[in-house]
Structure 1
Amino acid sequence: MTYTDNPADLTLLRPGDAGYDDELAGFQTGFTQRPSVIAAVRSTADVVAAVRYAAAEELPVGVQATGHGLPGGYEGGLLITTRRLDGLAVDPEARTVRVQAGVRWGQVVAAAEPYGLAPLNGSAPGVGAVSYTLGGGLGILAREFGYAADHVRWLEVVTADGELRRVTPESDPDLYWALLGAGQNFGIVTELEIGLVPVRTLYGGSLAFDGREVDPAAVLRAYEAWTRTVPDSLTSSFAAVPYPDLPALPPHLRGRYLVSIRIAHTGADGERLTAPLREIGPVLSDSLREMPYAESHTIHSDPDFPHAYYGDSAVLRELDVERAGELLKRTGPEAGQMCVVQVNHLGGALARPAPNAVPYREGRFLVRLLTVGDRERARAVLDPAFALLADDRLGRSLNFAFGSGDRGAGLYDPETRKRLAGLKETYDPANLFRRNYGVSAC
């Protein structure tokens, strides 16, 4: 295929043009983005032309599929929107799927389900499959199968020189390593092939407790102790969410402080493994059941509507339950604003080495804090909360940075960051792709 430097065939939108605001809209509404130009691409050739155009005009480049993981607000530059690159194809014999840059996880789940296969998707079906995988990809079955990035066979990427490259572990081991874990720092990934796993059903759902009747810290202590007893085939998380008393919310959530434990297990002994959790205290709701994998999104029931949010994450060596209990007090109903706490149990296959840049595999837990609303008010709650975890904090997770302060700090260990910074000098010396969480040495 021949590509052209002439962007005339591109759909280019500028502020004030009809369709500009609609094209810019994404899931995260809390940051103001005003790129000078939006390239609404429809093909790989469009991406090549857009990158060449941006390089010639010295415009920094950003990319957006669904707009879940914006690093913050900005003005100027060129934004490539990939939502129209929505092709995918399952190869049931090879147990793989080819996914273009605009495809969402829900589409991949639906396409794989007829073959008794499942992708290593996250909890929200509306998240972009490619972008999530480039950040590592912590999935519903992560402890059994590892990160989504660990299963990528090849990628097609348009690099800063405007060239389309097909990257494999054999053809370009350094670039392959960097692409999987560093987000969009090294180019625009237009398509990738990733492995599927033979999972048709699972035992999953959640147990919810009333956080005003059962001490949330006691639930967390019991949960942490329980995680030491479970096999790698069981992936789980703890969550605490104080819902405001607003008419817009479903009646069963208004004013509630819900503390829950979410489960996904591929074995036949789910009832036995989860029985100790029901002894923690009175259960407000229990949705644990055998389910088709296609219903796995109901385990977390993430919100599917655009909204403003802000937060961060901490990968921990261990979870100090006493300090985490204090964190729950500071982020609970008395915090003054809605703060979502999630604690993911790591380990298992996530700890295995892989030829990619996903860091902190030795971590045992991931703590994610997210607030809904204003950034400055959020920092007043979240910064002291994260300070409680400082002694055990290895770093942050790229996919769960949620637009926080220093875009690059803590996302990689020093050795990984040094290697990424060196490869950035090789593949993008002008830092064309800088509307993201950076990988420069610091």
Structure 2
Amino acid sequence: MSAIDNVEGPVLRPGDDGFDDELSGYQLAHPHRPDLVVGVTSAADVVAAVRYAADHGLPLAVQTSGHGREVPLAGGVLISTRRMDGVRVDPAARVVRVEAGTRWAQVVAAAAEHGLAPPSGSAPGVGVVGYTLGGGIGVLARELGWASDRVRSVELAMPVGIRHVTAGSDPEVFRTLRGAGTPPGTAVTAMEIELAPVERIHGGALSVAQEHVPALLAAYRDWTADLPEFLTSSIGALPYPDLPMVPAHLRGRYVAQVRIASTGSAAETQRLVAPLRAAVPTTGALAELPYAQAATIFAEPDQPHPYTGTNTMLREFDPAVAAAALEITGPGAPVMCVLGLRHLGGALARPPAVPDAVAHRDAPYLLSVLSLVDGTDVPGRLHRELMDAVAPWSLGPTPNFRFGEEAAREWAR
């Protein structure tokens, strides 16, 4: 009898009804092309899929939402975890247990009922486990640290069964799972993650027109030099399409937005942001909002699309980095590039209580670039050109902002 004969979820091969649906996700470029898809519904199903791959010497991959798909699977076994989305909050311990297919929106909502917040990112549709396995830089990252730092335990499916991994039981495996992904031939079935006592934040997005973006980048470097860690911020710059669904003040324009999230008071946050607003003209406002609405600060698209991207952690945000970023991926680029700059430091820079695998903790900034896949090699060429230009200030990439072909090149090195 095969290991997958007793799986409760669907087991599909190419040509079966529903096979292609299991492969779909937020990332439409470079889809997985497995020989077998197992739509798991329980930890036992995951163990069966892992055992089947091991018994037959097949490669293995896991997909939840398909946001962060890195290296597409060619052949082998794909575990689709979207049916495993259980969430259980322990408000007294400030811990949430999430199953393998849970998305951040579910955790944010469940934690909010108890006045708590998870270390979630800017896109509520992202899968919790994949995000956390890669480190995880969240909305309040400078205060809460890496999401992986807050992992209490991991349930890991292996060919022989479920292994409950903690700092005490398996220190080296626990370290790897917090920032470096899963060991080969295994898959996570659940995680326990620490929550924080955060109910409301003060924040918003401040928009800066194209002609002021160079000045914004210079001002941002100075402004972030000594901010308290309760304020986390980032910049996203891109050309917005001239389409009716785009807000009028952004439509058809190249705009940079400074995204701000703070647990400080309204008065303190406004005081801290005032020097930046004085340095460059901005539109938009900061306001108090529930943490459950924090993703509105970023307003990332929720429609699936094909994209590729890469990143690097920076030892400093040198003026030459800003100049190269705008020259290569700015408004004059031949394809649309979404340029990102995240201010790190604070809790992100501190060693965790228990060692984990997050690299480059001392990096003060993360530079990223993302483009739609257009059937040419232009996006990848521009991304490589940018990474080459900033190499003198680069410490190396972080896993969660590499997508498609860009991730495949990193894995091949």
How high is the TM-score relative to the length of structure 1?
Answer: 0.88
Task: Spell out, residue by residue over 1:112-165, the C-alpha distance to the aligned partner (whole angstroms, 9 max, x if none).
Answer: 112110000011000001110111011111111210110111110012x33210
1:423 maps to which residue? none
What is the percentage of aligned positions where both structures have the same residue?
Answer: 49
- Which portions of structure 1, spanning 4 or more consecutive aligned residues, are displaced by more than 6 angstroms? none
1:221 and 2:214 matched: no
Aligned ranges 1:308-387 → 2 under 5 Å: 308-354=306-352, 355-374=355-374, 376-387=377-388
Deviation at 1:326, TM superposition (A): 2.7
In 2: Cα distance, 1:311 partner to 1:393 partner: 16
What root-mean-square deviation, in Å, do the aligned CA atoms of Structure 1 and Structure 2 show?
A: 1.7
* Residue 290 of structure 1: aligned partner: 288
| Letter paired with 1:228 | A
Deviation at 1:246, TM superposition (A): 4.2
**Map 1:80-159 → 2, pairs under 5 A:** 80-159=79-158
CA distance in 1, matches of 2:93, 2:6: 40
Structure 1 stretches lacking a partner, 5+ long: 410-436
Aligned-partner Cα distance in 2 for 1:336–1:365: 26
SS at match of 1:7: coil
Give the C-alpha shift of residue 70 in structure 1.
1.2
Per the alignment, residue 20 of structure 1 pairs with 19
Q: How far apart are the structure 2 equivalents of 1:277 and 1:93?
A: 39
Residue 401 in structure 1 maps to residue 398 in structure 2: no
Q: Which moved more, 1:375-384 or 1:232-241?
A: 375-384
- Letter of the structure 1 residue corresponding to residue 166 of structure 2: T
State how far apart, in whole Å, the 2-side matches of 1:196 and 1:289 are. Answer: 23
Cα distance in 1 between the residues matched to 2:108 and 2:65: 17
User: Which shifted more, 220-229 or 400-409?
Assistant: 400-409
1:238 partnered with 2:235: yes
Residues 94-126 of structure 1, C-alpha deviation per residue, up to 9 Å, x if partnerless? 011000011100110000112110000011000
Distance 1:7 1:182 in 2: 32
Give the Cα–Cα distance (whole angstroms) in 1 for the partners of residues 279 and 83 of structure 2: 47
Q: Which runs of 5+ in 2 are unaligned?
A: none
Q: Which residue of 1 aligns with 2:259?
A: 262
CA positional deviation for 1:190: 0.5
User: What is the distance in 2 between the residues matched to 1:70 and 1:378?
Assistant: 17
CA distance in 2, matches of 1:48, 1:277: 52
Say if 1:125 and 1:406 are closer, same or farther in 2 by CA, change over 3 A. closer
Distance in structure 1 (CA, Å) of the matches to 2:246 and 2:110: 32
The Cα offsets for residues 341-375 of structure 1, whole Å up to 9 and x where unpaired, read as 11001111111112110111011100010011236
Structure 2 partner of 1:177: 175
1:249 shift after superposition = 4.2
Measure the CA separation in 2 of the matches of 1:407 and 1:352. 30
Secondary structure of the residue aligned to 2:113 is: helix
